[in-house]
Amino acid sequence: MARPFERAGPAGPAPASLAVREARAGDAPFLAWAIQESGRSHLDRGTWDFVLPGPEAERLDLLARLVASDAVSFCHYSGFLVGEWRGEPAAAMCGYQPAVATAPLFLEAVGQAFGGAGWSRARIREMLARFAPIMTCAPDPPDDAWVVEWVATAPQQRGRGHARALLEALLERGRARDLGLAHLGLLIGNAAAQAVYERAGFRVVDERRHPDFEAAIGAPGLRLMERLL
């Protein structure tokens, strides 16, 4: 399954009016958009456009079902923080330990979400098979890492430092779990996001490229970054 593809604007002063809170089930539509947007990174199309081709409204409905499913996967709303600007969701970011990103948990969540939307098992299997080129560059963070993923800021809110404020709160979540390492991945070529993370203390530790990944997504692969918590 796809790992973190980041979309973040340039860092600026921490926004005085951004209220950071834990996500709720009712945030599912916004979080679905954030997952899609994060998968697109700096490109026009991304992971979920490739895996779930078709009308965007249908894709977002399926992702919202995935976010709110009873099965807690790495897409579940409980892993997200939401930044609100003047009472409206402005940005989202997810953090989790690798144990939540296992294939069985993801398959259970997909079965619930997509089956609830009327998908047959055969259709679900066909969709899951489209993850194969994405998996060619999938990272494998250590079990005790705190993984940052699904980062997105609403277009009209970018450049106000929302991503930085959310990142600080999300890293604190990892510290509260007595974890020592934060890990993330971003598409090669997303220079703006990389600069944000470098200013937050992350450094590139690996790079994974594959022609199948590039053919599917349009980027050569993933750049993996880490920092101590």
Which range of residues forms the domain containing residue 145?
Answer: 18-228
Number of domains in the chain: 1
pLDDT for 12 equals: 44
pLDDT for 4 equals: 36
Find the mean pLDDT for residues 201-223.
Answer: 98
Lowest mean pLDDT among 75-79, 120-124, 131-135, 139-143: 139-143
CATH number of 40's domain:
3.40.630.30
182 within a domain of the structure (yes/no): yes
Distance CA 217, CA 226 (A): 23
156 pLDDT above the threshold of 70: yes
Q: How large a percentage of the chain has pLDDT more than 70? A: 93
Q: pTM here?
A: 0.91
115 pLDDT above the threshold of 50: yes
Identify which of 83, 228, 106 has the alpha carbon closest to the alpha carbon of residue 162.
83
189 within a domain of the structure (yes/no): yes
Instruction: Collapse the DSSP code of 46 into the 3-class scheme (helix H, G, I; strand E, B; otherwise coil) and give the result.
Output: coil
9 within a domain of the structure (yes/no): no
8 within a domain of the structure (yes/no): no
pLDDT for 16 equals: 58
pLDDT bin (cut points 50, 70, 90) of residue 13 is very low
88 within a domain of the structure (yes/no): yes
pLDDT for 1 equals: 33
Expressed in angstroms, the distance from the first to the final Cα of the chain is 25
Distance CA 193, CA 172 (A): 20
Report strand pairing: 145-153 vs 181-187. Answer: parallel
Q: Which residue has the higher pLDDT, 13 or 57?
A: 57
210 pLDDT above the threshold of 90: yes
143 within a domain of the structure (yes/no): yes
61 within a domain of the structure (yes/no): yes
Mean pLDDT across the chain: 92
Cβ neighbours of residue 102 under 8 Å, at least 6 residues apart?
none
Q: What are phi and psi of 79, to 5 degrees?
A: -90, -5
170 within a domain of the structure (yes/no): yes
| Encoded tokens for 133 | 């080129």
56-69: pLDDT as tens digits:
999 999 999 999 99
